[in-house]
Amino acid sequence: PTIYCITPTYSRYVQKAELTRISQTLKLVPNVHWIVIEDAMEKTDLVRNLISESKLITTHLVAQTAPFEKLKDSNPRIKRHRGVEQRNAALKWLRENLVLGRDKGVVYFMDDDNTYSIKLFDEIAKVRKVGVWPVGLVGGLNAEAPIVDAKTGKVTGYKSGWLPNRPFAIDMAGFAINLDLVLEKVEATFSYEMAKGMQESEFLSFFTTKDQLEPLADRCTKVYVWHTRTEKPKITGNITGLEV
């Protein structure tokens, strides 16, 4: 099965560095299709060239975050949704270009700034319906993880620093979904209407229930992905003609 990795990305100083890291991780993974969606008016040469030089199987899309959502940037108290339109554009692409029954795969939301072990992709390849695993360095904890019952092997709850009582208290990096389900449930999308921090939980609710989750990464005892965030560099000068 193909692993469809969906990566929203936006222009900033560290963008090329982030995408270089992600693309070179994916070079080590068999059977990947990388879907990169730029949060921009038009596709940029920087991203176009980077993904073409990667020689990965890629799809390059563009979908701009609504201006009203971006505006919240200036107000630090209102955290805005990120990646909503971009992930929806990728879901739309999957539903328009792939065929239920013909194309087999797993869908994974792979943000451009996280750090991914190649071991994670062996776990993603095992997903039958919806697989889950721990995510390191997130929500104020060393890791967030589904709680797995030792006897039944089922997920009974979540260790999470942020609303652990959500139906699915799982970061975007902590789950993957079988392509069949994504193609079947055409109504499953992300939305600005969802409460802050509820995108993952609401999206997963379209597909599954807690007791159906498949705990991977050694019954959720291993961390193979980290919610790293890159410090914004303080740049005081630009050398013209150098693409960074």
What Rg, from alpha-carbon coordinates, does the chain have? Answer: 18
172 near ligand UGA, judged by CB under 6 A = yes
- The correct pick among 19, 50, 90, 112 for binding ligand UGA (CB under 6 A) is 112
The answer to whether residue 144 forms part of the interface with ligand UGA (CB under 6 A) is no
Written as six digits, the tokens of 109 are: 């939301």
**Cα separation values, 36 from 24, 84, 222, Å:** 14, 13, 27
Binding at 214: pick from Mn ion, ligand UGA, none (beta carbon under 5-8 Å per type): none
User: Would you say 1 and 104 are in contact if contact means Cβ atoms under 8 Å apart?
Assistant: yes
- Per-residue interface string for the shown chain with ligand UGA, residues 54-73, x marking contact by CB under 6 A: -----------x--------
Query: Token pair for residue 244?
Result: 């960074």
> Of 80 and 154, which has the nearer Cβ to ligand UGA?
80
Classified as helix, coil or strand, 103 is coil
Region near Mn ion per CB under 5 A, out of 22-30, 53-61, 109-117, 217-225:
109-117
Annotated binding residue 111: yes
Site for ligand UGA in 188-217 (CB under 6 A): 199
CA triplet 47, 50, 102: central angle to 5 degrees?
Answer: 85
Return the range that interacts with ligand UGA (CB under 6 A); candidates 43-51, 82-90, 124-132, 217-225.
82-90
* Half-sphere exposure at residue 25, Cβ-oriented, CA atoms within 13 angstroms: 22
The burial class, CB within 10 Å (0-12 / 13-18 / 19+), for 14 is: middle
Concerning whether 200 is annotated as a catalytic residue, the answer is yes
Does residue 10 touch ligand UGA according to CB under 6 A?
Answer: yes
State the minimum distance, in angstroms, from the CB of residue 194 to ligand UGA: 9
Q: Please identify, using beta-carbon distances, which residue of 71 and 186 lies nearer to ligand UGA.
A: 71
- Catalytic site residue from 38, 200, 202, 214: 200
Report CA-CA distances (Å) from 147 to 85, 102, 168, 201: 31, 35, 11, 16
Catalytically active residues, by annotation? 200
Footprint on this chain of ligand UGA (rule: CB under 6 A): 7-10, 39, 65, 81-83, 86, 111-113, 171-172, 199, 227, 229
